[in-house]
């Protein structure tokens, strides 16, 4: 089905002057289809691993409050933004105790580096979990650093820039069977570079994305979700595969395709400790804007490195975490990760991988499992963080 969908998109875009050749489309989406098959295999393995007596494990077993809300002054910190001050709200609810939690989060913040952002992020489970709608609206004016493209960029080549952007995303999925869902994704992004360094690479306008582009994409989604809790999983798995096309026939200024595979698994060691791992693959072909290349670093992937410290068309990464209780609502985490970016898949080399490790603390803010976290990571350039943020890294 995914390949039929792609063929239709390619046919509709045939008369537009695309930057991407047919061979490139076939290559990326053939690989994406292979990733989708791998996702299905993982899903089937997860099904067979369940005892027959646990046939209802597809639905979370948590019996907490059916609705909760949280309104807090927002205080967070990352090396990219500095300290952020603002307000953050989270509303969590579910229609019945045996259904998944839906949630809506919203916030606004201003940083010590003269940056600001406003966001709204809903996630709804409808019709007794038969449908899942998720999305994001994000408007920001942020300063950032660009180190170049590739896995061997130098710290001293960093150049600072300020970008204003609007991001819109909508995911719509329907349950196909058990924990398997399928659906579509629609994305919109518009961005403008407000400031660049005079002698920097971004100021030349040679890189895609430096001329205030609009990017519009349409794609297919498949996901498997057997986690016992979407906010703080202790058992189960989450795997997703997405194949998206960004094309001028949709109104996009840049043409490229993207395929991603995200695999997460959670194992309860005993009643209060958890081991978790995440494998992430990201492949891009065509002419994506520099800001949407696959990126290592930041509060979610390879903590210990600046977000976007390494970026390129392809990415492979592995993360592991050991989560343990401390006292009352407080818990601790030890984590390690390895990742690499490359222009081509055949260019990946184990010896070129980047490593990071660190520790963190968790506090349970809502009975539904929503946590706040503080993480500090260490990479090849020293310590990164602290990352003060809501939600788990994965």
Q: What is the pLDDT of residues 97-126, one digit of tens each?
A: 888 999 999 999 998 877 899 999 999 999
Helix 22-48 and helix 2-12, axial crossing angle in degrees, nearest 10 = 160
Using CA atoms, how far apart are residues 393 and 387, in angstroms rounded to an integer? 10
Residues in the chain: 394
Q: For the chain, what are the domain ranges?
A: 2-61+146-159+166-191+214-390
CB within 8 Å of 199: residues ≥ 6 apart: none
Using CA atoms, how far apart are residues 50 and 158, in angstroms rounded to an integer? 49
Poorest-pLDDT segment among 79-93, 226-240, 354-368: 79-93
* Contact by Cβ (8 Å): 362, 343: no
Q: What is the pLDDT of residues 204-248, one digit of tens each?
A: 888 999 999 999 999 999 999 999 999 999 999 999 999 999 999
Q: What is the pLDDT of residues 125-182, one digit of tens each?
A: 999 899 999 999 999 998 889 999 999 999 988 999 999 999 999 999 999 998 999 9
CA proximity to 125, closest of 192, 174, 76: 174
Using CA atoms, how far apart are residues 287 and 209, in angstroms rounded to an integer? 9
Using CA atoms, how far apart are residues 277 and 59, in angstroms rounded to an integer? 21
Whether 193 shows a pLDDT value over 80: the answer reads yes
Please report which helix (H) or strand (E) contains residue 108, including its range: strand 102-111
pLDDT band for position 16 (cuts 50, 70, 90): very low
- Tokens at 200, concatenated: 């920097």
Using CA atoms, how far apart are residues 235 and 384, in angstroms rounded to an integer? 29
Q: Which CATH architecture has domain 2-61+146-159+166-191+214-390?
A: Beta Barrel (2.40)
pLDDT at position 54, please? 35
pTM of the entire predicted model: 0.80
Using CA atoms, how far apart are residues 227 and 237, in angstroms rounded to an integer? 5
């Amino acid at each position: 089905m995914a390949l039929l969908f792609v063929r239709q998109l390619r046919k509709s875009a045939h008369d537009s002057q695309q930057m991407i050749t047919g061979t490139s489309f076939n290559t990326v989406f053939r690989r994406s289809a292979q990733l989708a098959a791998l996702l299905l295999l993982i899903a089937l393995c997860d099904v067979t691993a369940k005892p027959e007596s646990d046939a209802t494990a597809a639905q979370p077993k948590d019996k907490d409050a059916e609705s909760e809300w949280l309104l807090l002054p927002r205080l967070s910190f990352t090396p990219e933004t500095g300290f952020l001050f603002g307000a953050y709200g989270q509303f969590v609810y579910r229609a019945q105790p045996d259904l998944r939690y839906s949630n809506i989060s919203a916030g606004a913040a201003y940083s010590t580096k003269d940056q600001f952002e406003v966001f709204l992020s809903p996630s709804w489970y409808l019709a007794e979990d038969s449908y899942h709608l998720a999305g994001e609206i994000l408007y920001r004016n942020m300063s950032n650093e660009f180190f170049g493209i590739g896995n061997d960029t130098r710290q001293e080549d960093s150049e600072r820039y300020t970008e204003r952007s609007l991001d819109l995303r909508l995911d719509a999925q329907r349950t196909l069977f058990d924990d398997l869902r399928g659906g579509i994704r629609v994305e919109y992004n518009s961005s403008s570079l407000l400031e660049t360094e005079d002698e920097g690479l971004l100021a030349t306008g040679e890189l895609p994305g430096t001329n205030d582009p609009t990017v519009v994409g349409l794609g297919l989604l498949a996901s498997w979700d057997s986690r016992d809790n979407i906010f703080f999983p202790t058992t189960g798995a989450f795997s997703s595969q997405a194949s998206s096309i960004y094309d001028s026939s949709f109104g996009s200024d840049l043409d490229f395709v993207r395929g991603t595979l995200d695999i997460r698994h959670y194992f309860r060691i005993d009643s209060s400790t958890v081991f978790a791992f995440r494998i992430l693959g990201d492949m891009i072909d065509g002419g994506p804007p520099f800001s949407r290349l696959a990126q290592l670093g930041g509060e979610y992937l390879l903590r210990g490195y600046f977000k976007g410290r390494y970026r390129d068309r392809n990415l492979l990464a592995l993360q592991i975490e050991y989560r343990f209780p401390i006292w009352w609502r407080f818990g601790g985490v030890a984590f390690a990760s390895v990742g690499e970016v490359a222009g081509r898949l055949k260019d990946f080399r184990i010896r070129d991988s980047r490593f990071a490790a660190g520790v963190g603390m968790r506090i349970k803010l809502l009975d539904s499992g929503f946590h706040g976290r503080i993480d500090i990571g260490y990479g090849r350039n020293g310590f990164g963080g602290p990352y003060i943020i809501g939600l788990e890294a994965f």
